[in-house]
Amino acid sequence: MRSQELEAPQLRRILRESAGIECRHMTDRALLRAAERAGARLGASRGDALRRLNEEDADAVAALAQEVLVGETFFFRDSRLWELLRRQVLPDLLRSQGSVRIWSAGCSTGEEPYSLALMIREHFPTAADRVTILATDVREEALDRAERAIWRDWSFRGVPEEIRRRHFTAIAPGLWGLSTDVRQMIRFAKLDLLSDDWSALGDSAVRFDLILCRNVLIYFHEAAAAKVCERMAERLAEKGLLAVAPADTVLVPRPTLAVVSRVYPAVYGRSNEAALGRSNPTRPRGSQTDVERRAAAGAERPLSTQVSAKPAVSRTIATDRGLAAAERAAADPGNVTFDPDRLWLDAARAVADGEDQRAEMLLRQVVYLDPGHLGAEFLLARLAAKQGDRRAERLHLEQALRLAIWYDADFRPPGCEGETAGSMRKMLQEVLRRLEGE
């Protein structure tokens, strides 16, 4: 057996035991490359870096941890969550005249907390001065980039052009700087969620009305993720909310936290508190929405959105049956998987069984773990079409087409049943032409 095959499992064990991090998303080869980059960070050779890691040297483990944590993100990522925040969560929080505290945990290069600030400036401008947003991350490099608040075009994919015009300034070809009024709403701080020291949050009595911890828990092993969630639950204000990503939901402990939204079953409150929608907030623009009136009557419909991120998934609200299936899956430790191929197969089975909501959740996880999964985007488009959501169908088809164009024409993309990227490209172009003609 080659030494490479022996080293990767050892690195996984060291990360798990010394840093509480699971590397489910990385192949052995990618993990070994990360170890080499960690050595470069330390000014050490590959051999010396591996030796220091084997000795569980704290600096070496920290360097490796920074290499394996994915930092790529973009504004308004996961449009269904942002729709829920805009329509219900933020109006509910801002109903009173008091201050509102929000924590973006694992904020990476700042797109998430700045998205919150942009949404508040756009939709609740009179309340902006009452909102405090704390953004934390373990990586100093990410925090430095966040505080510079300069991004390339790729971070804006799907962001309406008028928002970019109002709040960003072109500082060089393809580079955009954020306005000062939005930047001033955020305070950045270094915080390791797996450490005992959470002093960056301020006084231990400080409580948050909303905590976002999205696409973070998947890097932790189950016990570490549960501990982080329990500590976050302790930091929630009365009726405060914790939002995670769909891929994180299998790691959220129960009964400490319970799903509070059928619209987006990755938003939690403390189990002893009421569900989301417990009040009838006064809105900056109009009264209670039609969506919420239908929800109260048990007949929800798809949501629309004004601020979108990447091609949006369909806005179908979970049926009781679909939510129950998702909750059963989340509660069963045997269902925890971060293999996009297995998730893809599970999603296909869910579609066959008529569990569209569960299929959508699984496909979201596939797209997160494998952003190049053309088949997942295409199946999300089919689900959207089935539900009558033409906008979401078109967005997913457009993303699938972008992937088909990006791949070499003779490559066989995942989830396309052996079809080449070239043939998928022609088919997707034809489907999109038909949609435009409707």
CA separation for the pair 37, 63 (Å, rounded): 8
Per the structure, the complete domain to which residue 23 belongs is given by: 3-68
Q: What is the pLDDT of residues 229-283, one digit of tens each?
A: 999 999 999 999 999 987 788 788 878 898 887 777 789 999 877 456 544 333 3
Residue whose C-alpha is closest to residue 167's, from 214, 127, 111? 111
With vertex at residue 211, the alpha carbon angle to CA 281 and CA 294, rounded to the nearest 5 degrees, is 35
| Assigned domain for 295 exists | no
pLDDT of the residue at 35: 82
Q: In what order do the strands lie in the sheet with 175-178?
A: 150-152, 175-178, 168-172
Looking at the structure, tell me whether residues 228 and 373 fall in a common domain. no
- Per-residue pLDDT of 338-381, as tens digits, reads 778 888 878 877 776 678 888 898 998 888 888 888 989 988 98
Residues 57 and 89 in one domain: no
How far, in Å, CA of 157 to CA of 311, rounded? Answer: 9
Domain count, the chain: 3
Greatest CA span in the chain, whole angstroms?
67
Q: Domain with 355 in it: what CATH number?
A: 1.25.40.10
Instruction: Judge if 325 and 426 occupy the same domain.
Output: yes
Predicted TM-score (pTM) above 0.75: no
Q: Which of 219, 248, 270 is the last residue of a domain?
A: 270
Q: What is the pLDDT of residues 407-426, one digit of tens each?
A: 888 888 888 866 788 888 98
Establish if 74 belongs to a structural domain: no
Query: Is the separation of the CB atoms in 268 and 241 below 8 Å?
Result: yes
Does residue 286 fall inside a structural domain?
no
- Does residue 62 sit in the same domain as residue 94? no
Domain check: are 370 and 335 in the same one?
yes
Question: Nearest-CA neighbor of 274 among 299, 324, 238, 309?
Answer: 238
Domain shared by 184 and 53, yes or no? no
pLDDT in tens, 18-60: 766 776 656 777 788 788 878 877 787 767 777 788 788 888 8
- The verdict on 129 and 48 lying in the same domain is no
Tokens matching residue 196 = 């005992």
Mean pLDDT to the nearest integer, 83-105: 92
How does DSSP assign 284-302, residue by residue?
SSSSS-HHHHHHHTT---P
**Structure tokens given for 51:** 């030796």
